[in-house]
Amino acid sequence: MTDTEQPLDLTRQYALDRDCTTLSRHVLQQLHSFSGDAQDLSALMSRIALAGKFIARRLSSAGLIEDALGFTGQRNVQGEAVKKMDVYTNQVFISVFEQSGLVCRLASEEMDKPYYLPENCPVGRYTLLYDPLDGSSNVDVNLNVGSIFSIRKQEGEDLDGTAQDLLQAGRKQVGAGYILYGPSTILVYSIGTGVHAFILDPSLGEFILAQENIQIPDHGPVYSVNEGNFWQWEEPLRDYIRYVHRHEGYTARYGGALVGDFHRILFQGGVFLYPGTIKQPEGKLRLLYESAPMAYLIEQAGGRATTGRLEIMDVIPEKIHARSPLIIGSRDDVALVESFIQERDRE
């Protein structure tokens, strides 16, 4: 720079530097490395961000696109009615990883078996587990939805194509996160070095760093649960709800989409619960691509996630689409829920 050229003033320099802290750069910063592995993980996160951009764009105009909303008439492996947006978003995640050399397998809520990308498999040792459109029932009424993802390293050759190596505890995850499609599109992720949030700047077409090393408060006012299931729960969960009804300082918030409810609690503190019921003792949420990635994040943010009797990150699934009860959020609030379970277990 010559004498006559003046450096940008500090404010503008800071703003420029902040806007240049894209997701791919942030991953490399977190890993303190430019190695091949670091570049792969950085590229993988960029592909997830690309999927988020495609989905955000589709959601923002879905009401205007012929045939974008509504049901396909099919049912998925969960037995749930499939929405056209479920199919679209599931395919987006597959498409962004084709010809990438990064991800060999994708396991999705929307697919009975893992989907293989053979062109990637010899070199791509990552597996993406994802719920492409979490809370899709909110789509038709323009309420927030999300995508949840979990990243694992493939172990062994998976020669029989059954991906048995995925049936391991959540502590095997190498990264996890979600994309929240709300008033703004936010990507929250961790690769084991804290929880970080990025906001999509549509004018740049980039996710820009918004907050680093997010820590959940040890306690918060929010309890988030579908009280419509009250009489379906075990007695200790009913005891907990009776407690918060009778004590000051609690507020109920439930949006019907795990990603939005989780995001609120991550920032404000509190607890989200999806307990088992008499009909579904394992609860509704799927372990590998809903509960486990959220548990990975919450532990990185200083919170906890449990089934009520076992840390979510230690649960070993028997099948890809295994479900688990989920109690997740601030340490003190999760511990309070557990205290009611432990009290009943002692009886």
Per CB under 6 A, residues contacting ligand P6P are 134-135, 137, 226, 256-258, 274, 284-285
Strand order in the sheet with 145-153: 115-116, 103-108, 126-134, 145-153, 175-181, 185-190, 196-201, 206-211
Spatial separation of the C-alpha atoms in residues 209 and 222, rounded to whole Å: 26
Based on CB atoms, which residue is closest to ligand P6P, 179 or 285? 285
Considering the complex, what minimum distance in angstroms separates the CB of residue 145 from ligand P6P?
8
d(CA 114, CA 170): 18
The tokens for 312 are 């979510």
Q: How far is the CB of 229 from ligand P6P (least distance, A)?
A: 7
262: tokens are 């989780």
Minimum gap (Å) between residue 47 Cβ and ligand P6P: 23
Q: Which is nearer to ligand P6P, 209 or 292 (CB)?
A: 292
Position of tokens 């995508």?
Answer: 147
Nearer to ligand P6P by Cβ, of 246 and 279: the residue is 279
Nearer CB in complex with ligand P6P: 124/308: 308
Q: How far is the CB of 112 from ligand P6P (least distance, A)?
A: 17
Whole-number minimum distance, CB 342 to ligand P6P, in Å? 25
Q: How far apart are CA 73 and CA 276, in angstroms?
A: 28
Q: Which is nearer to ligand P6P, 209 or 285 (CB)?
A: 285
Phi, psi of 309 (to 5 degrees): -135, -10
- Which of 293, 234, 264 is closest to 109 using CA atoms? 293
